[in-house]
Amino acid sequence: MVAAPHDAVEVIITKRDGGALSTSQIDWMVDAYTRGAVADEQMSSLAMAILLQGMDRREIADWTAAMIASGERMDFSTLSRGTADKHSTGGVGDKITLPLAPLVAACGVAVPQLSGRGLGHTGGTLDKLESIPGWRALLSNEEMLAQLESVGAVICAAGDGLAPADRKLYALRDVTGTVEAIPLIASSIMSKKIAEGTGALVLDVKVGSGAFMKDVDRARVLAEVMVALGTDAGVRMVALLTDMDTPLGLTAGNAIEVAESVEVLAGGGPDDVVELTLALAREMLAAAGRDDVDPADRLADGSAMDAWKAMIRAQGGDPDAALPVARESHVVAAPADGVLSRLDAMAVGVAAWRLGAGRERKEDPVQAGAGVVWHARPGDEVRAGEPLFTLLTDTPERFDRALAALEGGYDVAPAGTAFEPRPLVIDRIGRD
């Protein structure tokens, strides 16, 4: 029997004591963990050591490459048009992928969007789309390629063959308090995106109370690391740092976010959702060499809506079907006349989660109709007794815990109080 080239305890101690892991150590550790030769408790110890001690750029690149090597790589070179993808680090009311993918497709660039499910207070794109009757998230690689050629956009789950090491490690990080480790966040995202094979990638790195990155400086570091990883792998990269102190739009949930996305595709919708959708679309198009097209025109002429309907139909869904509606609702009234001066994204996200829109464990079901609707955004005038929030759920016993989450999550200032909104796009990192 050939001895293993490394020992898990040796690797853990190296990082625990602040040392840099060698390429050989990283390759062996990731492969051995994927095969089951390294135990969960050993990998969780290493993940905690990485959280506390960090990794240099070479280590992060090696870790990312090892996770890519654990599975297959996709190839879109046979498509008749270029590709661009977008990844969000997660937020509250973040339904941007839904209008964005068909919008960019309507501009002539294919969008291979591999998305995930929600966990905790952040929503999942697949959960939202599964509220559409008949829509399916699982596609074969062949189905995905055919849909990209015929429709131009696909939003689906990543296949089991794509970076399986990341899938296993992500589940472990979630239950061991190591989700926030920047090297592991960066390599998790970029291993899947590089293996996916897209030619260009725009990152939406959320910053604020409702994001994993609460601090702008840490978010900027994460963005810079991911842009570097993608650039080194030959992917055209841009990252936008965007605000997540306030939730996006006017809804957080599943079916209600789909409905809001359709409003955007129809030429309406909340201003902030439209603004961010167009900003990301322009970055994706520029990265794919199609900055000659203005995505605002495609919203106005209806072609983005046509692409949305074609995308949903291609995956078995009925874009014209009625969306699920929660059986129970509860209205929270504004406590006083004045101006809504603060709406905390984390408070809203936790309330939606507790109403059934999200899950505590990956295997938990979600309610399609559950969520929170807010009837004003920061800067808007409100009147005492008029609806400020509407809470939606199929299980009314959830209302009390959702209401507790909203307590202290918003402020109403006296009428006439000056309000200075935070910019939606805080910074841009990447190509000139």
Beta bridge partners of residue 237, listed in sequence order = 201
How far is Cα 416 from Cα 381, in angstroms, rounded to an integer? 9
**Type of residue numbered 59:** E
Distances (CA, A) of 198 to 87, 163, 227, 327, 413: 12, 15, 14, 41, 47
Do 248 and 299 form a contact (C-beta atoms < 8 A)?
no
Give residue 166's identity as a one-letter amino acid code.
D
- Compute φ and ψ for 114, nearest 5 degrees: -90, 120
Distance (Å, whole) CA 244 – CA 215: 11
Encoded tokens for 420: 């200075």
The pairing of beta strand 338-343 with beta strand 387-393: unpaired
The Cα-based distances of 113 to 158, 368, 374 in angstroms read: 9, 21, 28
How do beta strands 251-253 and 371-374 pair? antiparallel
Any idea which residues carry the catalytic annotation? 87, 166, 173, 188, 192
Measured over the CA atoms of residue 359, residue 350, residue 258 and residue 274, the dihedral's sign is negative
Determine the Cα–Cα distance for residues 425 and 301; give it in Å rounded to an integer.
26
C-alpha to C-alpha distance for 351 and 355, rounded to whole angstroms? 6
Q: Which residue has the tokens 């009390």?
A: 400
What are 154's strand-pairing partners?
112
Residue 104 burial by Cβ neighbours in a 10 Å radius (0-12, 13-18, 19+): buried
DSSP letters of 123-179?
--HHHHHTTSTT------HHHHHHHHHHTSEEEEEPPTTS-HHHHHHHHHHHTTT-T
